[in-house]
Amino acid sequence: MNTFTELELRTPLRKSIEDLGFQTMTPIQEKSYSVVASGRDVIGIAQTGTGKTLAYMLPLLNSLPYAQIDDPRILVLVPTRELVVQVVDNIKSYSAQMKLRVQGVYGGTNINTQKKALANGVDIVVATPGRLYDLIVHQSISFKHCKKVVIDEVDVMLDLGFRFQLTNIFDHLPNKRQNIMYSATMTDQIEAFIKDYFYNPTKVSVAVSGTRLDNINQQSIAVPNFYTKVNLLMHLISDHEVYSKVLVFVDNKRSADRLHEVILPHYGNEVAVIHSNKTQNYRLRSIEAFTNGDCRILVATDVMARGLDIEGISHVINIDVPAFPENYMHRIGRTGRAQNAGNSILFYTEKEIESKQAIEQLMDYSIPEVAFPDEVEVSKQKTPEEQPKVREIFNPNKVEEEERGAAFHEKKEKNKKTNQGGSYRRKMAAKYKKPKTRGDKNANRRRKKR
């Protein structure tokens, strides 16, 4: 069974799937359907870009009965705001003929607006843990009818520090429920979480993290420094036909802004940047422009490396080599979606060779090398991080230790005096001395008579 027509889907759901043009299931969708439909707790391990959202939502939607209940019956937790928007859109498209109420909940927007939306009634809630926990604290949402809970990209949530919110959310859920978890990796933190909240889960594993995706053509180019990487990037993306939709990854927000500032005068509205310091509206507009084709180049940090499904990305270009090898797999997984062909290019400096080798070791695959183009200018400009640290070994103004004066001068005679407690106290102490022995209680009295 590998086609959707072979599934016993309800008529509205089947029509929606047909309208979307879905025909053949991916391996994770095929393996997950019967397990999730059985109602057992499920743990899915699958590489990014393998169709996990439909893998868990299709059986859940097919088994969701009609009910006039205002409280959510399905909860989906995801790590980022962008993923909330994407998953909500996906669920609405899957259930277009079912008239379900789907609500996204995430931070960076007015919480009161979300409270009103939830008060109007909702069937499925897709949320980030932080904002959902705030709503629970405000008693703006009830899960007494929620029997299905999905945690997508759980490894990212735990990496982002959402363990506290997750545990508190789970403490507010009904005891009798189905837990479904999907992740690209299995870590000790995830194992501990499963042990605390899952009951005898069934494991489904397809294309685990580190498995090389054969449909993605990978290349690597040795580059001396950051600004030469920028020159190389602009040389490549000048070919509009080949590089029709390019996602460019950098390690941090500072590099993202630096790169965007350099290429913006050359490409104008063709380029956008997205990272966690940008406002929510700006991020959503940038993703929408990139998805629609209004923007051809999107510069991003790893906030975009997980889960986001944007069709037609021709190339993923890594300006920096990620410190964690798994992040490279998630990055390049943005291209070659749903088993389509994709391309990735990795720029690396001499200092990044070890990180590149770690990626190759994880994949058990050597990324093919491509020669640096002769027509690209090698920049002498360096970023503050690349500039060598100056150590003042031979400073002509440096004063030798023996030339320095003494740290403390000798005290003057008047300053050598110590606090004796005043003349009166000194006279009294001399007059009334302590007894010579403990038993000689009258010693002071005899001394006084003398």
pLDDT band at 404; cut points 50, 70, 90: very low
Radius of gyration from C-alpha coordinates of the chain: 33
CB 296 within 8 A of CB 239: no
CB 47 within 8 A of CB 249: no
Q: Which of 46-50, 59-63, 283-287, 358-362 has the lowest mean pLDDT?
A: 46-50
pLDDT band at 388; cut points 50, 70, 90: confident
Q: Nearest Cα to 260, choosing from 291, 224, 301?
A: 301
How buried is 331 (Cβ within 10 angstroms: 0-12 exposed, 13-18 middle, 19+ buried)? buried
Residue 138 structure tokens: 């405000």
Q: DSSP letter for 150, please.
A: E
* Mean pLDDT estimate for the chain: 85
Rounded Cα gap, residues 252 and 70, in angstroms? 42
CB 200 within 8 A of CB 40: yes
CB 120 within 8 A of CB 34: no
pLDDT tens, residue by residue, 325-346: 878 888 888 888 766 789 999 9
Q: Nearest Cα to 309, choosing from 118, 33, 80, 8?
A: 80
Q: Which of 37-41, 327-331, 375-379 has the lowest mean pLDDT?
A: 327-331
CB 244 within 8 A of CB 270: no
> Where are the chain's structural domains?
4-206, 216-363
User: 4-206 belongs to which homologous superfamily?
Assistant: P-loop containing nucleotide triphosphate hydrolases (3.40.50.300)
Residue 437 pLDDT > 90: no
pLDDT band at 392; cut points 50, 70, 90: low
Q: Give the CA angle between residues 221, 308, 43 to the nearest 5°.
A: 105
pLDDT of 425 reads 67
pLDDT tens, residue by residue, 173-183: 999 999 999 88
pTM: 0.70
Same fold, 4-206 and 216-363: yes
Kindly report the CATH number that applies to the domain delimited by 216-363: 3.40.50.300
Higher local confidence (pLDDT), 80 or 375: 375
Where are the strands (E) in 128-257, listed by range? 148-152, 178-183, 202-206, 216-222, 246-249
CB 43 within 8 A of CB 120: no
pLDDT tens, residue by residue, 314-326: 999 999 998 888 7
